[in-house]
Amino acid sequence: MKRKIWYLLMTGLIGIVLLSACTSDEDVSDEESDNESEGKTKISVFMPESEDTDLETNSFTQFAEEEFGIDFEFETTSYDAAAANERRQISLASGDYPDAYFLIEWVDQFKANDLLRYGNQGVLIPLNDLIENHAPNLQSVLDEYDEFRKIATAPDGNIYGIPQLEECFHCTWPNKMWINTNWLETLNLDTPKTHEEFKKVLTAFKEDDPNGNGEADEIPLSGSAASPSHSVIPYLMNGFVYDDVETKLSVKDGKVDFVANTDEWREGLEYIHSLYKEGLIDPGSFTQNRDAYQQLGNNADGMILGSATAQHPWEFVDNENQYAYDVLAPLKGTYQQYSTYNYPVVQGATFAITNKASEEAQIKAIKLLDYMFTEEGSTRAHFGVEGEDWIKPEEGDVAINEEMEPNLKQLHPEEPTNNSWGASAQYFQPREYRDGWVQAEDIYTDDGYERRLQEATYLYEGMEPEEIFPHWAIWYEGEVQDEIATLETNILDNVEQSAVRFITGEMSLEEDWDDYVAGLESLGVDRYVEINQEAYDNYLGAN
C-alpha cells in the first residue's frame, strides 16, 4: 500500500505524485488482474489525517482492507481547513483526483454547488443505484431520516455524495450566551431573564469590581468574528426578531421574508448599540479572532470576562476559568424569546466516488460506507477498538441523556492508539446514539463536559419559531446557482458590515437607516427572497 502525498511549493508550483489515472488500458488490466488474484481491489482515497493517526498502519484501515477486500492508496491532507480545501480543489482541477473522498465536514467538504457542477460534468458519479443494490443500511437511513434524504438528494434526483449524519444536540442551537455565575454570586445578582435585566448585570460587571482586584479591568460582554456562533448579535437580536444567522430569512404561513430590513431588526440594533455606547460590549467582539478571544477568557492574572457568546465555553476559555461560566437561557425581549436553530447535518458531502473508480472499487467503497451507517460500524470506525478505546457501559454509568440507556463509554487513553479514522468516519451518529454515550455526572469536570453542553442546550431546545427557513437542505436549480450566490454574498455582507457600523455608532439609525434599506433594495433583496421562496416551495414538495 502506497501513500500519495502532495507538496505545495512556496512559489505556487505544484508537485504531485500522480495516481495511475493515465496508465494504458493494458497496464490497468494487468493491475486489476493482480488485485483480483489477491482478492483485493485498489482504491485511492483522499482524506484528512490527524497528527495522531497513521492511516497506513491504522487498525481500522487494516480491518476494512480485510473485511471488504480493499487495498487503500491514501492521499492525505491536514486538518487545516484552508489547506484541505485547496488540495481537494487542486486534485479536481488537475484531473488527478482519486477514486473516492472521505472528508470531514468541519475541515472541508463538497458544497451543494460543487456536487451539482462535478456531478453534471461526470466527475462525481450518482450513487443511487449503488446504494439501492449494495448499501441497505444507508438506504434505510435515507428512508427513515427525511431531512437527511432532502439534504443528500440533488434537484435532478441524484445523490452525488453523502453527508455525515451527525445529529449533535448541542450543535443544533449554536448561538448561546455564557455568563460568569461566580460574578453573579459575588455581586449578589439574580440571573437575568430579560434584555433590561441583562443590561443591568453587564453594568454591574463593569462598575462593581466583581473580580475584586480594585481595577476597572472587567469586560462585561465579548464575542469574536471567528465564527457565526461567536457573534453577539444573534443571541441579542432574537428578542426582537428571529435571526437564523445564515440567510436572514424567516418563514410564516409558508411565506419567506427578509428580516434585516424590518422595524424589529432596527430596534434590535438600537438595543445592542445602547450596550456598546455604555461600554458594555467589547469592541473586539467584531474584529478579534479565536486566539484573541481565548486570551480574554484565559487571562492569567484573574478573570476579566463577564459573559461571552459561543457554542460552548472551550471556544473562549480553555483553562480552569471555564468552570465559572454557565449558560444563559434565551432572553425575553421586546417581541420574542427565540433561540437560533440549525439542523446540525450540513448540506454537501463528505463521501463521494469519482469516475476514476472501477465498478468493483465503487461497490466496495459503498459497502464500506454502508458499514459506517450501522452503530457497530460507526463505533469501530470513529472510536476504535473495544477494550482499548471504549468499553460497554458498566453498572452505575449514566448516559448524557439520562432518559436513555447508556451504550458506549470512551476510555480516552493517554497515548493515541491509531485504531480509528476519527472524524472522517462520523457517518451514523443520530441523536439517539449520541444521547447514549456515558459521561461523568459532575458537569464541571473534563469527563462531564459533554453532559454540561447537553444540559445547557435543554434551555434552548424548542425556543425557535414554528416555521424556519431550512437553509441546511435548500437546493437551488442550476440556472439560478450563480445568481443566488452573488445575491447572497452581496446582501449578507452588507447586512453584517452595516450591523456593526450601526452598533458602534459609525452609522446612525436615525439618519442612515433609510439609505441602508434602499441599498439592500438596490442589491436585489426582493429577487433574493423570490429565489428562496421558490427553493423553499421545492423543499416542501420534495419526495
- Which pLDDT score is estimated for 543? 55
Q: Are the C-beta atoms of 327 and 456 separated by less than 8 Å?
A: yes
74 with 135, same domain: the answer is yes
SS (H, E, C) 124-167: ECCCHHHHHHHCHHHHHHHHHCHHHHHHHCCCCCCCCCECCEEC
Q: Report the C-alpha gap between 481 and 113 in whole angstroms.
A: 7
Angle between helices 513-522 and 525-541 (to 10 degrees): 60
13 with 90, same domain: the answer is yes
Q: Are the C-beta atoms of 426 and 434 separated by less than 8 Å?
A: no
Grid cell at residue 203: 453594568
DSSP conformation letters of 399-445: BSSTTSPP-BEE---SS------GGGG--EE-HHHHTTBB--S-TTS
Among the three residues 358, 381, 404, which one is the final residue of a domain in this structure? 381
- Which pLDDT score is estimated for 135? 98
45 with 142, same domain: the answer is yes
104 with 19, same domain: the answer is yes
Helix (H, G, I), strand (E, B) or coil at 517: helix
Q: Are the C-beta atoms of 185 and 351 separated by less than 8 Å?
A: no
Strands 177-180 and 325-328: antiparallel
Grid cell at residue 219: 469586560
Which residue type does 341 have?
A: Y
235 occurs within a structural domain: yes
Greatest alpha-carbon pair distance for the chain in Å reads 81
Strands 41-48 and 100-102: parallel
223 with 115, same domain: the answer is no
Q: Report the C-alpha gap between 459 and 46 in whole angstroms.
A: 40
Q: Which residues of the chain are under the pLDDT cut of 70?
A: 1-38, 543
What residues does 179 pair with on adjacent strands? 307, 326
Query: Phi/psi class of residue 250: alpha, beta or left (left: φ > 0; alpha: ψ in -120 to 50)?
Result: beta
140 occurs within a structural domain: yes
Q: Report the C-alpha gap between 266 and 274 in whole angstroms.
A: 12
Q: Report the C-alpha gap between 540 and 543 in whole angstroms.
A: 9
Q: pTM here?
A: 0.88
276 occurs within a structural domain: yes
Give the rounded distance of the alpha carbon of 83 from its chain centre.
18
Which residue type does 252 have?
A: K
502 with 474, same domain: the answer is yes
Of the candidates 435, 394, 425, the one whose C-alpha atom is nearest the C-alpha of residue 411 is 394
CA-based radius of gyration for the chain: 25
What burial class does residue 411 get, using C-beta atoms within 10 Å of its C-beta: 0-12 exposed, 13-18 middle, 19+ buried? middle
Q: Report the C-alpha gap between 381 and 47 in whole angstroms.
A: 14
146 with 205, same domain: the answer is no
Q: How many Cα atoms sit within 13 Å of 56 on the Cβ side?
A: 8
DSSP conformation letters of 304-354: -B-EEE-SSGGGT--SGGGGGEEEEPPPB-SS--------SSPSSBSEEEB
What burial class does residue 473 get, using C-beta atoms within 10 Å of its C-beta: 0-12 exposed, 13-18 middle, 19+ buried? buried
Q: What is the pLDDT of residues 80-100, one digit of tens each?
A: 999 999 999 999 999 999 999
450 occurs within a structural domain: no
Q: How many structural domains is the chain composed of?
A: 2
What residues does 221 pair with on adjacent strands? 281
Domain assignment of residue 363, given as a range: 3-169+346-381
329 with 357, same domain: the answer is no
What burial class does residue 502 get, using C-beta atoms within 10 Å of its C-beta: 0-12 exposed, 13-18 middle, 19+ buried? buried
CATH of the domain at 121: 3.40.190.10
Taking the CB of residue 523, how many other CB atoms lie within 10 A of it?
19
Q: Are the C-beta atoms of 470 and 439 separated by less than 8 Å?
A: no
Strands 70-77 and 41-48: parallel
291 with 316, same domain: the answer is yes
144 with 252, same domain: the answer is no
DSSP conformation letters of 367-402: HHHHHHTSHHHHHHHHT--BTTTEE---TT--BSST
212 with 318, same domain: the answer is yes
Among the three residues 357, 381, 405, which one is the final residue of a domain in this structure? 381
With a CB cutoff of 8 Å and minimum separation 6, the contacts of 393 are 399, 406, 407, 408, 409, 438
- Phi first, then psi, for residue 476 (nearest 5°) are -110, 140
Cα-Cα-Cα-Cα torsion 62, 64, 68, 71, nearest 10 degrees, comes to: -50
152 with 232, same domain: the answer is no
Among the three residues 332, 354, 381, which one is the final residue of a domain in this structure? 381
Helix (H, G, I), strand (E, B) or coil at 226: coil
